[in-house]
Amino acid sequence: MSKLTHLDEDGRATMVDVSHKEENKRRAVASAVVTMHLETLALIESNGISKGDVLNTARIAGIQAAKRCDELIPLCHSLPLDSVQLSFDRDESLPGLRVVAEAVVTAKTGVEMEALTAASVAALTIYDMCKAVDKNIIIGPLQLEKKEGGRSGTWERER
- Based on the residue annotation, tell me whether 128 is a catalytic residue of this protein: yes
Please name the residues in contact with 136: beta carbons below 8 A apart, sequence gap of 6 or more.
Answer: 36, 37
CA distance 150 to 141: 26
- Region of 140 (left: φ > 0; alpha: ψ -120 to 50; beta: rest) is left
Q: Pairing between strand 138-148 and 24-35?
A: antiparallel
Catalytic one among 70, 82, 91, 128?
A: 128
Provide the annotated active-site residues.
128
